[in-house]
Amino acid sequence: MKPEEFKQLLLEKGFELSDQQMKQFEIYFKLLVEWNEKMNLTAITDKEEVYLKHFYDSLTLGMIYDFSKPGLKLCDVGSGAGFPSVPLKILFPTLEISIVDSLNKRITFLTNLVEQLELDKVNLYHDRAETFGKNKMHREQYDFVTARAVARLNVLLELCLPLVKKGGLFFALKAAKSEEELNEASKAIDLLGGKVSSEEDVTLPISGDKRHIITISKKKETPNKYPRKPGTPNKQPLV
């Protein structure tokens, strides 16, 4: 996907990117490739692939849910190189985003990225999700929480749902639909105060790659014992 195609396809979805926003995506791409030579941020470095599989892919969430209302707060858990939250922030400038990542090197990259893109209302935290979810400054404080991660849903739920405020939403961005994974997570969803709100299948243009977005709404407060201590959700997932 060339940058011009990226712009045109977003226009067809109702999003008209300004010259400034296009410039921000261009800077993002250059910094991603530059820093990727020093640390492992992504296996995808081809420009057309980055625009399709990172930038456009991240923005599919904004095609399903409207993040334009002022005052909304989104937390991105284990964001890596900033996906999906930074592309969403570029598209929806009023959105306040917080990124938590356990690797300080990635936070250093993101700090530089945010500076170069001249973004405001971006908070970066070097922390384990399990510890972060216990912090009263962040627990149940976010309208939206996202995770674009390879962990199974029952693990992601324990790391992310404690951060969602009552009435808020957790978005799990998955590479493929898995009824087995959703069934396996049903106990965790209920236990942590959530309810499946929707499932959306997304097909990326050009490549035809499939994506799956699971939305969990927060119906009640998460019990204080969750998330458990660092490492436990991965070793002993809720089933």
Residues that constitute the known binding site for S-adenosyl-L-methionine: 78, 83, 129-130, 148
Alpha-carbon distances, residue 98 vs 103, 133, 198 (angstroms): 15, 13, 24
Closest CA to 15 of 48, 52, 49, 59: 59
Rounded Cα–Cα distance for residues 114 and 28 (Å): 9
Rounded Cα–Cα distance for residues 191 and 39 (Å): 38
Q: Tokens in use for 11? A: 């226009």
Radius of gyration, alpha carbons of the chain: 17
Q: Tokens in use for 14? A: 């109702």
Binding site: what residues are annotated?
78, 83, 129-130, 148
Bridge partner list, 210:
203
